Structure 1
Amino acid sequence: MSQAALDTADNITAIIGGTGLTELKGLTLLDDIQVNTPFGPTSAPIKRGILDGHQVLFLARHGHPHAIPPHMVNYRANIWALKQLGVTAILAVNAVGGIHDLMGPAHITIPDQIVDYTYGREHTFYDGRQTGVEHIDFTYPYSEKLRAALLESAIALDVPHSDFGVYACTQGPRLETAAEIVRLERDGCDIVGMTGMPEAVLAAELGIDYACIALIVNWAAGKTEEIITMDDIQAAIDTGMGRVISILEHTLTRFD
């Protein structure tokens, strides 16, 4: 399906994350949409569905199947495409490591701040070439309206969660050293991931409300004596992703 064929109704919400996020109760998947962007292709075709009478779009950040490492995601193409399809709000799902003592595996937090440690990524639409130069305010990187909706859903569903968190976004794809986590903690960071930026700032540049649901999938390096394994990460995903999907479902059916 081409982008021209999409019904660009007002207030379309998009979910960016991995596979499995289309398993919301009551969701009817309709089709896949290919969008041509000035920045190249999106990570994957954008899936369109109907939930509670409203259009919802889904974009697999790392492709489908999962094959694109975090530092090579075409964040500009992804956000640009969603804007062209009429998206006004993005709910981003991110798997992260826990630094704060309250944020262990399978815990969910709705972060309120970001510190960007990435480098070499195409991190702005305002690069002085196609769109000139613009300096946007990014004091509060997440939409408080969306954060409030997610938190209300977590409370209503009695899902254990934290209503704060400073997200440290690192380059990846490797995990961090114990010394790097000490530094991040000293900087005031509570969780660490690899995909929160420049996704959040690109949404802000295009005027799209953006919020993050962070699922902690492991303790950050050095926070325990154990070595981080993919089996442990997958176990935390298996435990926590159902709660994430429940929060998304509750939010989407009630958020205007």
Structure 2
Amino acid sequence: MNDRPRADIGVFGGSGFYTLAAQAETWDIATDWGPPSAPVAIAETAGVRVAFLPRHGAGHRLPPHKVNYRANVDAMRQLGVRALVSPFAAGSLRPEIRPGDFVVCDQIVDRTWGRESTFHDEFTDGPVHIPFAEPYDPRLRRVVLDAAAEVGVTAHDGGTVVVVNGPRFSSRAESRWHRESGWHVVNMTQCPEAPLAMEAGIPFVGIALVTDYDAGLDEDPGVEPVSQDAVFAVFEANLHKVKELLDAAIPALADVSET
């Protein structure tokens, strides 16, 4: 199997983020869970082999509840990545977390349903219950925060992402509930990505790019509820920040993940 592709770092692309490098080798990876969302593109960045996979597939054809998360994570496992980076679009639940900001999350709340969220459909070799108290790797989080400071983008240190099923956005009541629960941002894809990465033994870091204020802010009635067009517009306008942040972080992520 000397011709099997290998990579050091894996990156999942999200809404509006479909390519990472212009020059890349493209590989079709077969998994026991079916095909991933798209072929994996592998390119070298600062001497680091990076595997990129758009979680929603070509042309954003897969809604969040139809993404084959098991195949996506298993493809990265097969490539041998030592760290998995997951940028994602998110709605803010806090007035101080503004559109265009990043949040390097440290906790997660799963409100999804009906998704294949584990590799263990049966316990053939005995029970397997993974610890999930720390969903995001602290070392990788530190690297990303340092890279954000280096490139001059606003990145909040820590925060809880609540993951909803989608593809619809939250009602005002749901958004208020999430905010009153103390959570910080809302997204549709971090679960089951994070627990599957944990099961696969791959250190994982999630980077929220805030695109909106979800269903609005009670303290500011002038803030409009989120719309699809607004999400994509803000993400596109800030995509260069995502790529700059990744370019700065990837060499250090590779170094940290070797230890």
Question: How many Å apart are 1:22 and its aligned residue?
Answer: 3.8
- Find 1:137's aligned residue among 111, 131, 135: 131
Question: Partners of 2:125 and 2:138 in 1: how far apart?
Answer: 28
Question: Partners of 1:119 and 1:234 in 2: how far apart?
Answer: 25
Question: How many Å apart are 1:8 and its aligned residue?
Answer: 3.0
- How many pairs were matched up? 249
Aligned to 2:3: 5
Question: How many Å apart are 1:28 and its aligned residue?
Answer: 6.2
SS of match in other structure, 1:5: coil
Question: Partners of 1:62 and 1:133 in 2: how far apart?
Answer: 32
- Deviations along 1:25-81, one digit per CA (max 9) or x if unpaired, are xx5633111111111110000001011122100000000121100011000011011
The AA in structure 1 aligned to 2:241 is R
- Find 1:241's aligned residue among 239, 242, 255: 239
Aligned to 1:93: 87
Aligned to 2:180: 186
TM-score of the aligned structures, taking structure 1 as reference length:
0.91
Runs of 4+ in structure 1 displaced over 4 angstroms? 129-132
Question: Partners of 2:22 and 2:175 in 1: how far apart?
Answer: 42
Question: How many Å apart are 1:21 and its aligned residue?
Answer: 5.8
Aligned to 2:31: 37
Tell me: CA distance 1:36–1:108, structure 2 relative to 1, closer, same or farther (3 Å). Answer: same
Tell me: CA distance 1:221–1:130, structure 2 relative to 1, closer, same or farther (3 Å). Answer: farther
Confirm or deny: 8 A CA contact 1:28 1:51 kept in the other structure: no
Q: Over aligned residue pairs, what C-alpha RMSD do you find?
A: 1.8
Question: How many Å apart are 1:159 and its aligned residue?
Answer: 0.9
SS of match in other structure, 1:197: helix
Confirm or deny: 8 A CA contact 1:177 1:222 kept in the other structure: no
The AA in structure 2 aligned to 1:138 is F
Aligned to 2:73: 79
- Find 1:171's aligned residue among 153, 157, 165: 165
TM-score of the aligned structures, taking structure 2 as reference length:
0.90
Aligned: 1:111 with 2:109: no
Tell me: CA distance 1:39–1:130, structure 2 relative to 1, closer, same or farther (3 Å). Answer: farther
Confirm or deny: 8 A CA contact 1:21 1:245 kept in the other structure: no
* Aligned residues with identical type, % of pairs: 36
Q: How does 1:11-30 map to 2 (within 5 A)?
A: 12-18=8-14, 20=17, 22-23=19-20, 29-30=23-24
Question: Which structure has more helix as a fraction of its residues?
Answer: 2
Question: Partners of 1:22 and 1:74 in 2: how far apart?
Answer: 19
Question: Partners of 1:197 and 1:159 in 2: how far apart?
Answer: 26
- Deviations along 1:134-193, one digit per CA (max 9) or x if unpaired, are 101000000011100000001112211211110000000000000001111122210000
Question: Partners of 2:145 and 2:154 in 1: how far apart?
Answer: 10
Q: How does 1:47-86 map to 2 (within 5 A)?
A: 47-86=41-80
Question: How many Å apart are 1:131 and its aligned residue?
Answer: 6.9
